[in-house]
Structure 1
Amino acid sequence: MSTYTPAVRPTTRSQTVLGGTITEKALKRFLEGIPGVDAVGAQARADGFASRSIKTTSKAWGLDTIISMVDLTTLEGADTPGKVKTLAQKATMPDPMDPSAPSVAAVCVYGDMVAHVRESLGSWHISQRSDGVAIAAVATAFPSGRASLPVKILDTEFAVSEGADEIDMVIDRGAFLSGSWGLVYDQIMAVKEACARPDGSYAHLKVILETGELATLDNVRKASWLAILAGAD
């Protein structure tokens, strides 16, 4: 039985940051050299946000901004075409009592539901209007990420072919935590390539880190840099 040999491939971004040929050694040297996170300071900053009060017009603007950045999501085994179509309609008008409320950023579903969302959005799709709604699809064996790379690629290619504007992939947390950073890098690169469309454009790639499983803020920072270097959008 053969073992995996990381074949770390360069991206323009990683070459700019790391320089020259991208190797497993160079990748590890960079990630291990990233300064640690001040966990106490980060917690204090978070506590400060929680206690901050926003009033009047600033609060209204803030709420509208939050709505416009939401991915309205359903990821249940019991999802049906009817359910996701209803969700898509809600995405265009989150508050029927307030027509001034903005539409959400995207509807997020499994890949086999993408076409139904696209049909329901109609002229509200992001391709038809600047304030329209995009379609995001989870892929790569979400949420566990426990699948072979060929399966992850097929999962991604199918969602893109169905009309997904964004692919939400999950990293292999087991590989990351065991120090196989080149493997994680390669997988993100491969999924990015699978986001390609026939016209040469790409679906947007979001890399989900599942930070609750990464144990430390230092790991979160390393995983973030790894995703950025590999081509995450």
Structure 2
Amino acid sequence: MSPTDRPNALPRNEGLPFDAGIIEGVRTNTPGVLRRAGTIGARRSLKKDWQAAWLARAVSMIDLTTLAGDDTPGRVRRLCAKALRPVRHDLLDAIGLPDLTVGAVCVYHEMVPVAVDALAGRLPVAAVSTGFPAGLSPFRLRLAEIEESVAAGASEIDIVISRRHALTGDWQALYGEMREMRAACGDAHVKAILATGELGSLRNVMKASLVCMMAGADFIKTSTGKESVNATLPVSLVMMRAIREYEAMTGFKVGYKPAGGISKAKDAITYLALLKEELGDRWLRPDLFRFGASSLLADIERQLEHHVTGRYSAGYRHAVG
């Protein structure tokens, strides 16, 4: 399934010519960001049907992911089956959403054909490419990996940026690499992974976000999930405001994907509340927002079972794969 074939598909971000003035003009108020991020979870409380509705929406925006060295075709097929039926059918029937699925399945390149076959066009397949997670393989090989993943059927490509360009302030180099990666993706949508835990400052996060969007990224994503610090609310706030600023400049809506460390249903609701307040309702759809997660789904399913039955079950009853 191509992203552009989906109903109500938005125009793709075409990018902008590199403008150093925009990047050097970036400022961030770190104390203000921390204060704002610190309040969002403390003042949002959803109960009963409202909570179930938000949790179901969170399920629909999960990139169900397996990125392990011991992945096998059997494991990926089980993951795809879970993606198509993410919550037990009796619970889905009880909440009136029998056809609920996740947003996509995310795997290494080697497993793309398995996932494409298992999903049979019912959900997008995302591939992590470009020397994931470090992004330090030769650039020509990173481009070739993108092209091979697209040829294998991936309709979304999660690429990792060269963090050294951000850390040394070589924003022109980052723009050039991102632009070539975007071109290599063709019709497949590209999610630019910033590895925000390794960028050193919120200002660098803001700059890297804008550079990647200027170069044509369809999504910006926090992390590979392999860093010591992954998605956080302060980083998410900065990246969402970069998206808002970019839309004001260009009219293009760019998606956002927090990844790594989001494993609890209550955290998912907090991120969605921040998203709604900062970017608005249009971003509460899988074409503009994804959670990069695996264990998150199990906790959401557990909470939905409590909503339907009034009882909590053991976590092992809600295996992901």
Which residue matches 1:199?
none
Residue 15 of structure 2 is matched in structure 1 by 13
Identity among equivalent positions (%) equals 39
State the 1:98 CA deviation.
2.2
TM-score, length-normalised on structure 1? Answer: 0.81
Q: Does structure 1 retain, via aligned residues, the 8 Å contact 2:15–2:217?
A: no
Say which SS state the counterpart of residue 54 (structure 1) adopts: coil
Which secondary structure does the structure 1 equivalent of 2:91 belong to?
coil
Residue 98 of structure 1 corresponds to which residue in structure 2?
91
Specify the alignment match of 2:202 in structure 1.
217
Quick check: 1:108 aligned with 2:106?
Answer: yes
Q: For residues 119 and 147 of structure 1, what CA distance do their matches in structure 2 show? A: 29
- Give me the whole-angstrom Cα distance separating, in 1, the residues matched to 2:180 and 2:136: 16
- In structure 1, the gaps of 5 or more residues are 1-10, 16-21, 126-131, 197-201
Query: Aligned-pair distance for 1:12?
Result: 5.1
The Cα of 1:230 is off from its aligned counterpart by 0.3
Tell me the equivalent position of 2:67. Answer: 75
Question: Take 1:40 and 1:60, find their aligned partners in 2: how far apart are those partners?
Answer: 34
Measured at CA, do residues 32 and 194 of structure 1 come closer, stay the same or move farther in structure 2, by a change above 3 Å?
same
Corresponding position: 1:47 with 2:38? yes
Letter in structure 1 aligned against 2:68: E
Provide the C-alpha distance between the structure 2 equivalents of 1:111 and 1:72, rounded to a whole number of angstroms.
15
Q: Give yes or no for contact 2:167–2:200 (8 Å, CA) kept in 1.
A: no
Aligned to 1:147, what secondary structure does the other structure show? Answer: coil
> Does the alignment pair 1:206 with 2:191?
yes
1:30 partnered with 2:38 = no
- Find the aligned partners of 1:159 and 1:194 in 2 and give their Cα distance: 10
Query: Based on CA coordinates, which of the two structures has the bigger radius of gyration?
Result: 1
Q: Distance in 2 between matches of 1:165 and 1:49?
A: 34
- TM-score, length basis structure 2: 0.60
Partners of 1:106 and 1:219 in 2: CA distance = 29
- In structure 1, the partner of 2:212 is 227
Say what the alpha-carbon RMSD is for the aligned residues: 1.5
Q: Distance in 2 between matches of 1:113 and 1:220?
A: 31
Helix, strand or coil for the counterpart of 1:231?
coil
1:26-175 map, 5 Å: 27-34=19-26, 36-51=27-42, 52-96=44-88, 97-99=90-92, 100=97, 102-122=100-120, 125=121, 132-175=122-165
- Once the two structures are TM-superposed, the CA of residue 56 in structure 1 deviates from its matched residue by 2.4
| Offset, 1:182 | 1.3
